[in-house]
Chain A
Amino acid sequence: MGSVVRAALLMALAGFSGGVRAQTTDLLLVLAADVSRSIDESEFALHARVTRRH
């Protein structure tokens, strides 16, 4: 599942452009991805498909 979350996040991050750093932000966001053993092969396969789309 971690791979799936990573792939999805990578796609979501696409499209940023331009800007400056800031130490005061509007939001602190912890993205916490489950990588427990319940992951199956189909999830890994999805990772590959999503990565290709990206």
Chain B
Amino acid sequence: MLAAIRGGSTGTIAICFVEWSGAGEHNVVADWTVIHDEEEAGGLAAAILAAPRSFMGRTSISGAIDFAMERFAAAQPRANRRIIDISGDGTNNSGRPVTDARDQALAQGVTINGLAIVNDKPNPGYAFHTQPPGGLPEWYRQNVIGGPGAFLRVVEDFHSFADAMTNKLVSEIAASAPEVRSAVGETWRGSDRRSMSR
């Protein structure tokens, strides 16, 4: 990942880590941090590790997208590329329609990538939420991701989560979405998505 960061024109990226749950439930765990060296990365990691879990409510992906857009507006670092990275294990069940939030973000040139975490355990009362018709990956593909170079990574085995996160971050930084099925699930190039033409 370091090589990917250093491959850019400034050799830096800025990360903001947010936890979200239902509509109006958003918490900035670590605000914008410019990452290039070990000290900066360590500071961000420490802040993330030290923070308690923020919420345990419903799932408002639309709210998360809207909140991320607010964080972009508040950011002091500047960049030509802006990416929202949504990770989750369920569909939007709180707040406004996720496609409305997605389309507004895309219209402003933002890319939304997804990390769909497949939860196939019995989930009484929430089956449609975590296991929607067609599967959560397809739901994410149709409703969440979009924009230039957008891609979705699927984690079907939580044991592979760390590798999936690393690979996804490298892809985002290098602006080159993976094309092949990986050990952690399918990925799609953004060019395969209908939302690319939105």
Question: Which A residues are within 8 Å of any B CB, using their own CB?
Answer: 1-40, 42-43, 46, 49-50, 53
Contact = CB atoms under 8 A, between A and B. Distances in A.
A38 B119 contact: yes
Nearest to B115: A5
A27 B78 contact: no
A32 B41 contact: no
Given A17-B2, A30-B72, A46-B159, A1 B87 contact: yes
Contacts of B90: 34, 36, 38
B178 to A, nearest CB: 15
Contact of B158 (A28, A43, A53): A43
Interface residues of B, number: 80
Contacts of B29: 6
B interface SS class:
mixed
Contacts of A34: 20-21, 59, 61, 64, 86-90
B90 to A, nearest CB: 5
A3 B29 CA distance: 12
Contact of B169 (A7, A12, A37): A12
Contacts of A9: 17, 45, 48, 165, 169
A16 B53 CA distance: 26
A43 to B, nearest CB: 6
A27 B130 CA distance: 31
B19 interface: yes
B89 A16 contact: no
Interface string B167-178: 001001100000
B40 to A, nearest CB: 7
Among A4, A9, A10, A17, find the residue whose CB has the most chain B CB atoms closer than 10 A.
A9
Given A22-B12, A23-B78, A28 B83 contact: yes
B117 A36 contact: no
Nearest to B7: A26
A31 B17 CA distance: 5
Given A32-B68, A36-B58, A17 B161 contact: no
Interface string B102-133: 00000000000000010101010010011000
